[in-house]
Amino acid sequence: MEKKNVLSGIQPSGVITLGNYVGAVRNWSLLQQEDRFCYYCVANLHAITVRQDPTELKRRTRAMAAMLLACGVDPKRSALFIQSDVPEHSQLSWVLNCYTYMGELSRMTQFKDKSAKNEDNINAGLFTYPVLMAADILLYRSSFVPVGHDQKQHVEIARDIAIRFNNAFGETFVVPEPLIPNLGGRVMSLAEPTKKMSKSDPNPNAFIAFTDDQKTIMKKFKRAVTDSEGCIAYNPQTQPGVANLLSIFCIFTGKTMDEALAYFEGQGYGHLKTAVAEAVIETLTPLRLEYERYLADEVYMETILREGAKQARTLAQKTLSLVYDKVGIGI
Ligand code: TYM
């Protein structure tokens, strides 16, 4: 049986949040199985579509790789690398740009959101962001792309580009599929539960960061915005804050929603918040300690990332040369 490849990426635009973890990164580690090759990258080229401090970007890129190791990305079963260490990403992205339409890029909701937030810097990179992401995915012949719900549209455009290219030049790319968890595919902000939790949110109380200690996690959950209904029920439309806390509780305890509702019957929001915080603390604390250990071991990090990039490049070079050949680039 042919091995199926998996690829995913994360921007080093901050620290892994609870949303990143349950929406995507937890699945990255679960997908590492015998019958698959996994490629996981820190998408630093994507990060510069918004302004970054150069020293801080370098530090965050390295820290993000250490966080991914702590979350269970296993260098023996996956290639973990920094996107810019494999130049084929940018090279394929250029070719794919020529097979992507302005119209489809202007329909991307992330482009619309980010342009609204960065009115003074609506750059072309922000616009062609999904094309670079398509290159990330298609270079590795990935069948599966584990992501949160907000990246679904980007994986869909990667599919459209792959199909369009295959139709023009014959079978070249594997057409990828997004893998989005039913529960946890869209974790909401603790401060504004109608918005998704985001690592670049200026309000630190809106998200749980991977680096938060136990006291901070408890404090943030206790402050989480709920509602005035006073009843613990799962109604994402009318009680988004409570529904978010219940979902997080289920994910971290392995309980079903029915079991969770039975567990909290007759209880107040204070109890719900403490129980969710305790469940999250129990899982995240050992991961945070692992992260600190990886971060301190610069030599190990260096070796893993260099080896990961080397492994990734082997396949990336093959795919790019096939593409160049099909398009007629080279002599
Ligand atoms: P990024 O860095 O914003 O987020 C990394 C992953 O976390 C998921 N995620 C969430 N899931 C659930 N609830 C949330 N509140 C939440 N917030 C974020 C994201 O869906 C994502 O899976 N463009 C990508 C990075 C990327 C990539 C790729 C992904 C670059 N190249 C190739 C897949 C394949 C991004 O900005 O993710």
Give tens-digit pLDDT for 114-138: 889 888 989 999 999 999 999 999 9
Ligand 1 pocket test target in 147, 196, 244, 247 with most atoms within 8 Å of CB:
147
Is residue 307 pLDDT above 70, yes or no? Answer: yes
Mutate to test the pocket of ligand 1, among 7, 20, 210 (most ligand atoms within 8 A of CB): 20
The pLDDT score that the predictor gives to residue 119 is 87
User: For all residues of the chain together, what is the average pLDDT?
Assistant: 96
Summarize the confidence of residues 247-275 as an average pLDDT.
96
Q: What is the pLDDT of residues 190-216, one digit of tens each?
A: 999 999 999 889 999 999 999 999 999
Give the phi and the psi of residue 280 in degrees, each rounded to 5: -70, -45
Report how far ligand 1's centroid is from the alpha carbon of 177 (Å).
15
Calculate how far, in angstroms, residue 154's C-alpha sits from the geometric centre of ligand 1. 10
User: How far apart are the CA of 145 and the centre of ligand 1, in A?
Assistant: 10
Bigger pLDDT: 1 vs 80: 80
Could you tell me the fold of the domain covering 204-292? Tyrosyl-Transfer RNA Synthetase (1.10.240)
Determine which residue's CA is closest to atom 28 belonging to ligand 1.
9
Domain assignments of the chain as residue spans, ordered by start: 4-184+298-327, 204-292
Fold equal for 4-184+298-327 and 204-292: no
Q: Please, which residues have CB within 8 angstroms of residue 25's CB and are 6 or more apart in sequence?
A: 10, 16, 68, 71, 73
Beta-carbon contacts of residue 79 (< 8 Å; ≥ 6 apart): 37, 38, 39, 40, 307, 308, 309, 311, 312
Task: Show the ligand 1 pocket: residues with CB < 6 angstroms.
Answer: 7-11, 19-20, 23-24, 43, 46, 133, 136-137, 145, 147-148, 150-151, 185-187, 196-197
* Residue that the structure tokens 């109890």 belong to: 271
pLDDT of 117 reads: 85
The Cα 31–Cα 74 span in angstroms is: 11
User: What token pair was written down for 30?
Assistant: 């679960």
CATH code linked to domain 4-184+298-327: 3.40.50.620
DSSP for 165-209 reads HHHHHSS-SPPPEEE--TTTSSPBPSSSTTSB--TT-S-GGGS-B
pLDDT in tens, 279-299: 999 999 999 999 999 999 999
- Per-residue pLDDT at 3: 82
Active site positions, annotated? 114, 196, 199
Which band of pLDDT confidence, cut at 50, 70 and 90, is reported for residue 1?
Answer: low
**pTM of this structure:** 0.96
Please report, to the nearest 10 degrees, the dihedral formed by the alpha carbons of residues 277, 278, 283, 288 taken in order: 70
Ligand 1 nearest-atom number relative to CA 147: 22
Q: Which ligand 1 atom is the nearest neighbour of the CA of 136?
A: 32
Structure tokens at 270: 């204070």
